[in-house]
Chain A
Amino acid sequence: GAGVSQSPSNKVTEKGKDVELRCDPISGHTALYWYRQSLGQGLEFLIYFQGNSAPDKSGLPSDRFSAERTGGSVSTLTIQRTQQEDSAVYLCASSLRLAGAYEQYFGPGTRLTVT
C-alpha cells in the first residue's frame, strides 16, 4: 500500500515568512510524529499525535512552531516567522501504535531552506 507522503518535497522561503508542511500518514495509522533532521545531525523529535488525545508538543523548539492533525489523518506543521536556523529536513512518520507495535514508517521529508 501507499507509504507516508509529504509535500512539498522542497521549500525555499525568505527569512520572516511563514511556511506550512504537509504529511499524509499511512491509512489506518493512528499515531503521527514529526521529526527534524538538521544537516549532518540526527533526528530530533518535534511533536506526536495519537487519535483524539492531546498532542505531545514537548519537542517543539519555540512557539513559532505549531502543528495540527485534522480528522485523525493529515497533519500540517506550521513554522511562523522562519529563521535561518529552521533550515532542515522535516520528516513525518506514522505508526499503528498498538501494544507492542512500535514501528514508525517515515516519509521522504520536506527540505526547508530559509534564505
Chain B
Amino acid sequence: QQQVKQSPQSLIVQKGGISIINCAYENTAFDYFPWYQQFPGKGPALLIAIRPDVSEKKEGRFTISFNKSAKQFSLHIMDSQPGDSATYFCAASTDSGTYKYIFGTGTRLKVLA
C-alpha cells in the first residue's frame, strides 16, 4: 500500500511534443505529490508539486493533473525541449510522521532535436 507505481519506464518524444508520465498510488493518506527532475550525476531537483485539494497545477510548460478518485496523477511537459531530457520521479508523502517520500521508479525522458 506504500508503493507508487510510475510509467512508462522510458519515453522518447520529438521536440515540441507533449511528454506525459503517469503515477498511481494506493495509500489514501498521501496528501502531497511532488515531481522531481534528475540529470545524470546530479541530485533530484523539485519541479512541481500538488496537493489533493486541486485537480491541476501548472507552472510554465509543466502541468500536474491529479485524479483523487482514481488515485492517479500525471506530469505533462508541453512543448518538450532537448534540455528536458532527464529522469523524472514522482513521489508521495503524508503529513503524519516523517513526511518521508515514497518514490516511483522513474521515467527516463529523451527529447529528440
Which residue numbers of A lie inside 8 Å of B, CB to CB? 4, 31, 33, 35, 41-45, 48, 50, 56, 59, 91, 93, 95, 97, 99, 102-109
Contacts and interface: CB of A to CB of B under 8 A. Distances in A.
A59 B43 CA distance: 20
Interface residues on B, range: 20 to 34
Interface of B: 6, 32, 34, 36, 41-46, 49, 89, 91, 93, 95, 97-106
Given A56-B97, A102-B34, A102-B49, A45 B43 contact: no
A107 B43 contact: yes
Contacts of A35: 101, 103
B43 to A, nearest CB: 4
Contact of A42 (B32, B89, B93): B89
B104 A42 contact: yes
Contacts of A99: 95
A97 B45 CA distance: 17
Nearest to A97: B99
A110 to B, nearest CB: 10
B43 A103 contact: no
Contacts of A103: 34, 46, 49
A43 B6 CA distance: 13
Nearest to A33: B100
Nearest to A108: B43
A106 B87 CA distance: 15
A101 to B, nearest CB: 9
Contact of B98 (A43, A56, A107, A108): A56
A104 B106 contact: no
Contacts of B104: 42
A105 B43 CA distance: 9
Contacts of B100: 33, 45, 48, 56, 59
A31 B36 CA distance: 19
A99 B31 CA distance: 13
A76 B106 CA distance: 27
